[in-house]
């Protein structure tokens, strides 16, 4: 008497679900990697031992020849507060300061004072210190 099962198991493995998963991960990493946008202006940033990446809402750059830029748009020092007011909609915004290391400390405090008066979080951009 020969016993045989009616259910046959196929030894093949379907890769279509694995391909879908890989594609979704690829799309996820492509989208999240584009959120980190460095400042495109040439500024010699000070260095620190540790550096974290912050989501950049409004960027204020002060070059060594005291040129002011808000999100890479050149503004005069007198119009800086008005430009920051228009960029910071509502409370709780953040301002990332890209200030050249040769700029006097008073200029950094001027921009910081404007941002804190507008109730914005102020973040100083630095570059990681090189290990020697």
**Residue 41 confidence class, pLDDT cut points 50, 70, 90:** low
pLDDT at 90: 63
Tally the domains of the chain.
1
CATH (domain of 59) = 3.30.420
What is the pLDDT at residue 132?
46
Domain, as residue range, for 62: 47-128
Query: pTM for this one?
Result: 0.57
For residues 54 and 39, the answer to whether their CB atoms sit within 8 Å is no
In a domain, 19, yes or no: no
- Tens digits of per-residue pLDDT, 73-100? 899 888 888 888 888 876 667 888 888 8
In a domain, 27, yes or no: no
Q: Dump pLDDT digits (tens) for 98-113.
A: 888 888 888 888 988 9
């Amino acid at each position: 008497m020969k016993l045989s099962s009616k259910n046959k198991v196929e030894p093949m493995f379907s890769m279509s679900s694995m391909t879908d998963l890989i594609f979704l991960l690829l799309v996820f990493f492509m989208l999240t990697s584009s959120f980190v946008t460095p400042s495109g202006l040439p500024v010699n940033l000070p260095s620190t031992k540790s550096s974290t990446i912050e989501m950049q809402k409004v960027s204020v750059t002060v070059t060594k020849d005291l040129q002011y830029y808000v999100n890479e748009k050149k503004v005069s020092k007198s119009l800086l507060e008005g430009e920051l007011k228009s960029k910071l909609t509502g409370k709780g915004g953040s301002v990332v300061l890209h200030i050249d290391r040769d700029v006097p400390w008073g200029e950094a405090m001027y921009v910081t004072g404007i941002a804190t008066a507008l109730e914005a979080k102020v973040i100083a951009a630095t570059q990681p210190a090189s290990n020697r």
